[in-house]
Each structure stands twice: as structure tokens, then as C-alpha cells.
Amino acid sequence: MRTNAMKYLPNFFPKAALEKLFFCFPDPHFKRKNHPRRIVSERLLSEYAFLLQPEVGRLYCITDVKDLHDWHVEKCDAHPLFERLTEEEMEADPCVTLMKTETEEGKKVKREGRFGHDMYYQVYTRVDETLAANKEKVGLGSVTAANFFGEGEFGVEVQ
């Protein structure tokens, strides 16, 4: 399904309805002023976590832009509801191979095969809220229910 995830994704699925989410070669939005438009951000990761099944759900990110890959890793590593898969776990996942070889952009990158045109990918699993709470207690992760929405957004008021 292709849609504007920033606006509509939580309206399509109930909580914990998905096992996998793929972000294959998203627009990198190079200009700093456009970084809030990137498909991976703290707020959107919380929405993705809502949709993914705990302990089963996986978030797949692949790009051919190293800076965007670093952005994805930074944001996902910081989020308390996602945990990075090991290299061995990723290599054992057939979806990783498929997103590198069967997507339009993946085929293009492989076909062009010129120096410096690589694919960067990472996979995260959706962790259970109990584990995330422990992670939050030791200072890992930055998104909580208290800071998810800003003042004035979605009817949130500071008391």
C-alpha cells in the first residue's frame, strides 16, 4: 500500500496488526529544513511501534544514501520500542535479501553497480513495552507518552 504515513497510517490498522513494515529507498530530503518530512522520525517511530506486533514485528529500512541510513539508525536506536537485529539475524531473514534484490530501486542499484553506489540497510524488532520501560529507566530512548505530542498538537494542553 502506498500512502502518506505521516497523515493516515494509524487510521488504516488497529494496534499490533502488522508483522512487518518496509521503508525501501525513501526520499532522503537532503535539505535540513526538510528533515521533518523524512519517513523515519521519533514521532513516526512511535506510530509504527503502535502498529507492529510486540516481539514479532519488524521494521525494515534500506537506502542507497549513507547519510539517510545513518539518520535511520540514529532514530531507531534511540527509540525505546525498537531494538536492532544482529548481522546474523538479518542475514537469516529472507525479507532482507528480497528488499535488496526485488525492489525497483534495489535492482537499479545492483544493475548500475558503479563504485560508491551501495545499499545500506538495517532491521529492527518491535520490543515489548515491559522491556521498553526498563530501557527507559536506564536512560535509553527518548520518546515517552509524556513527550510524544507537543503543546498545541492534537488538543494537548500544558496543565
The separation between the first and the last C-alpha atoms of the chain, rounded to the nearest angstrom, is 39
Helices (H), the chain: 9-12, 42-51, 66-78, 87-92, 94-101, 104-112, 129-137
Q: Are 46 and 81 in contact (CB under 8 A)?
A: yes
Q: Are 53 and 14 in contact (CB under 8 A)?
A: no
Residue 149: per-residue pLDDT: 52
Can 77 be counted among the known catalytic residues?
Answer: no
Helix 42-51, helix 66-78: angle, nearest 10? 70
Q: Whole-model pTM?
A: 0.76
- The residue from 27, 67, 70, 128 that is catalytic is 27
pLDDT by residue for the chain (159 residues), tens only, comes to 677 766 787 888 899 999 999 999 988 888 888 888 888 988 899 999 999 999 999 999 999 899 999 999 999 999 999 999 999 999 999 999 999 888 888 888 777 765 456 889 999 999 998 776 665 544 444 555 555 555 555 455 555
